[in-house]
Structure 1
Amino acid sequence: MVLTASLVSTAAGVAVPPGYTRSCSSGEDQGTIPNLSAQGPLPKSVTGRVDFLAARYRSDGVLLRTISLGHPDHLHPMASSFKPLVVHAVLKDIDAGRLKLNTPVQVSDATRSLGPFPSGITPVSTLLDIAINGSNNTAADLLLLQYGPDRLAREVDEQSGHCTQVLLTTKGWWTAQSGLADEALGKRGAAGYGRLPFGPRLRMAGQILAAARKVGPAQLGPALDRVFARKTYDPNSELDLQNVTTPRSYLPLVARTLPGDDLSAGSRALLRKILSTGCCRPERPRLKASAWWAKGGITWRVLNLTGVVELPDGSRLAYVYMNDLSQTADAGALRANAPAAVTWIESQLLALLNP
């Protein structure tokens, strides 16, 4: 991972905190691929920083052209947009016979994240569904713990050109952001952890996950609220502590992961069914699509939208829209902004079809 940092302002005029703007280049040269500039302004409801990249792929997977806004090499917190990676990975383990859809998984205060979740035992099949539908944090965390956080982290790092890092469960990064994992972070603190090379960062992530197991959800929620409410809250902690990616790095992963072409027929059908009902897609699509697989990520001042659209001729469109530093902090209000953002994304996809 190659990182650079600078002080800039967003198109919406919101000052970006010093050190927040960090770029990562995977080293892939896409200079020969035609790239269009995004067409039309962002919705008025969108504030903060937006970086966007979409691509059109031929039916055989060959990349034809892209369309972009902002800086696709800027790092962003992933929020829940990392969850399809977990679901896809677990389905691969099911195909390999390491797990079954009816494998029972026990939840406890040690593994329960923010948000509601039933006590007792839940089968993997239910976890796969609700990790996307409703974006249940505990379900995604339980699946990641079943698969192995280190294992997925190494796979994603390699597949993304070292610019996508999925090292922590939701409970893990929130425990760290809330200040309840300071012993694990040590003297380096959040900033030191966020700038570690992948290997040492992964080892420290294991210590954060261990610290998170000692924190109950009743303690975690109020502690996190207090941190977010501070006037001195530093958004850099989101890039330091959360799972992160860039639109350019994540786009090929999204294009490969969401359709599940590498899965068995049964697992592929299940993945596509789940992702056909996850957030977010247009209510009345203008695109004549045979399928639209999508996953959003909405959290404190962050709205991410990712998806793959399959067209009747077998060609595909994939996109990664990442909006952070929004002036809208409430997750419910950000969710209300998603339809307008999805409409804008669809207009960019149409431009890709008719350049």
Structure 2
Amino acid sequence: MGNVRPTVPFLLACALASSPAASSAAAAIVWPDPPELTPLTCVEPAANGAPVQLAPTSALPVGVSGRVAFSAIVFGPDGQPLREMALGDVDALHPLASTFKPLVVEAVLRDIDAGKLKLNTLLETTPGRRSIESYPAGENSIATLAKRALVPSDNTASDLLHLTAGVSRVAREVHDRSPCTSVLHTTKAMWALQSGLLPDVLPNAVQDAPTYAALPFSTRLDLARLAVMGAQRLTGPQVEAALDVYFKGPSYTPDMELGVQNTSTARAFARLQAQVLPGATLNPASRALFRGWLSDKESCCKAKTPTFKPAFWGVKSGSGWRMLTMSGAATLKDGRTVGYALLIDGADPQVAEETERWLRPLAVWIDAQLLRLTR
């Protein structure tokens, strides 16, 4: 990795030359020594008092495979953790897939509440802003894009909102709320990195991704800004085609997901879901919209006949190559809140369509765990 060390600071300094912080940005690049590569775990400071620990009521549904971590935590009205359920290593880092998207939408809604944006503000899908898969053509309102980002999990809709909110700003706010959660990239940027289309950031994507992940947060933030800008010089179809070649080719490694995708641990993300998904930081009108999108009946992630019946229950899922993620938060009638995260990577099925078949049985399983945890 020694030959890479002078390259990235130079590229970063050039890319940020128009910024007042350009000179300090290059100086801030400190590549870790080879032994200090990708961090595999992360533990956030514990709240006062230890929650009561409960074991899951049953094993995972038949056929679910891979590296699995599930965390569900019940918080009292004062925010203190009361009960916790864990399966697997809940402090191990995992890729989040699309479960980070509510964090983006919530940031945009806070800007609307602050008068910086409006629900009917139009955002345009340009070739540079279009991500992979289906996309909303032309101009669409923030309200339309927010629903698309959360309900059908549209990547372009999420990226348009992410760019509008400010990618670095979202990253900092998420890091402040949850130091173990990293939301540095738009969907297009992380897939462009993973497929090797951004050599200005990662000259050798497979070899450099572990070092990229091990850099200090402030340094990764600067490099992520380069990645987001670089991704906008590519088209969505270009990224999708290159990604398909990478996933099905000999260079594929699941370690890349920890290097370049947005990541967290099951425990940290469960805590973050309890903070964000109920919409406590939003004005009543924005909160109602946010909750409505997260609890939409078209969602994939609840049992068809749930036994867990809280006052509000918002959910989000994500999928990818050998991965599946499911997260959510609920508020109970007695004032308690529960947040949870199920993170799976390294699954035996490779394509997303196969792991997505687990959604329904896993939704039933999660329903039973939340009912037990909140009794």
TM-score > 0.5, shorter chain as reference? yes
Contact 1:185 1:208 in 2 (8 A): no
Contact 2:47 2:80 in 1 (8 A): no
Give the 3 Å change call, closer, same or farther, for CA 30–332 of structure 1 in structure 2.
Answer: farther
Residue 275 of structure 2 is aligned to residue 256 of structure 1? yes
Q: How does 1:38-57 map to 2 (within 5 A)?
A: 38-57=56-75
Match of residue 305 from structure 1:
326
Listed one character per residue, the Cα deviations across residues 221-247 of structure 1 (whole Å, up to 9, x for unaligned) are 111001000244111110000000011
Give aligned-pair identity as a percent: 40
**SS at 2:84 equivalent:** strand
**SS at 2:83 equivalent:** strand
Give the Cα separation in 1 of the matches to 2:85 and 2:307: 18
Give the Cα separation in 2 of the matches to 1:333 and 1:243: 22
Listed one character per residue, the Cα deviations across residues 35-92 of structure 1 (whole Å, up to 9, x for unaligned) are 1222311111210011111012234443211111111110000100000000111000
Give the Cα separation in 2 of the matches to 1:263 and 1:218: 36
**Bigger CA drift: 169-178 or 114-123?**
114-123
Code of the residue aligned with 1:91 in structure 2: it is L
Q: How does 1:321-336 map to 2 (within 5 A)?
A: 321-336=342-357
Contact 1:185 1:204 in 2 (8 A): no
Code of the residue aligned with 1:175 in structure 2: it is A
Contact 1:255 1:318 in 2 (8 A): yes
Residue 232 of structure 2 is aligned to residue 210 of structure 1? no
Q: How does 1:124-203 map to 2 (within 5 A)?
A: 124-160=142-178, 162-186=179-203, 189-203=208-222
Give the 3 Å change call, closer, same or farther, for CA 30–296 of structure 1 in structure 2.
Answer: farther
Deviation at 1:349, TM superposition (A): 1.3
Listed one character per residue, the Cα deviations across residues 263-301 of structure 1 (whole Å, up to 9, x for unaligned) are 111000000110011441111001132322101111111
Code of the residue aligned with 1:318 in structure 2: it is G
Code of the residue aligned with 1:228 in structure 2: it is F
Give the Cα separation in 2 of the matches to 1:31 and 1:178: 44
Give the 3 Å change call, closer, same or farther, for CA 240–155 of structure 1 in structure 2.
Answer: same
Give the Cα separation in 1 of the matches to 2:165 and 2:128: 17
Residue 309 of structure 2 is aligned to residue 274 of structure 1? no
Give the Cα separation in 2 of the matches to 1:30 and 1:50: 27
Contact 1:53 1:69 in 2 (8 A): yes
Residue 103 of structure 2 is aligned to residue 85 of structure 1? yes
Contact 1:182 1:189 in 2 (8 A): no
**Bigger CA drift: 82-91 or 114-123?**
114-123
Residue 244 of structure 2 is aligned to residue 225 of structure 1? yes
Deviation at 1:189, TM superposition (A): 2.2
- Structure 1 runs (4+) deviating above 6 angstroms are none
Give the Cα separation in 2 of the matches to 1:280 and 1:290: 17
Contact 1:157 1:163 in 2 (8 A): yes
Match of residue 10 from structure 1:
none
Deviation at 1:192, TM superposition (A): 1.8
Aligned residues: 337
**Bigger CA drift: 143-152 or 206-215?**
206-215
Give the Cα separation in 2 of the matches to 1:27 and 1:269: 31
Match of residue 3 from structure 1:
none
Give the Cα separation in 1 of the matches to 2:110 and 2:39: 35
Match of residue 24 from structure 2:
none
Give the Cα separation in 2 of the matches to 1:310 and 1:342: 18
Listed one character per residue, the Cα deviations across residues 175-194 of structure 1 (whole Å, up to 9, x for unaligned) are 00111012222467222211
Deviation at 1:316, TM superposition (A): 2.7
**SS at 2:291 equivalent:** helix
Give the Cα separation in 2 of the matches to 1:287 and 1:29: 26
CA RMSD of aligned residues (A): 1.9
Unpaired stretches in structure 1, ≥5 consecutive residues:
1-5, 7-18
Give the Cα separation in 2 of the matches to 1:333 and 1:282: 19
Code of the residue aligned with 1:66 in structure 2: it is E
Q: Which one of the candidate residues 39, 52, 63 is aligned to 1:34?
A: 52
Listed one character per residue, the Cα deviations across residues 4-44 of structure 1 (whole Å, up to 9, x for unaligned) are xx9xxxxxxxxxxxx87810112325662221222311111
Residue 139 of structure 2 is aligned to residue 118 of structure 1? no
Match of residue 30 from structure 2:
none
Code of the residue aligned with 1:253 in structure 2: it is L
**SS at 1:329 equivalent:** coil
**SS at 1:192 equivalent:** helix
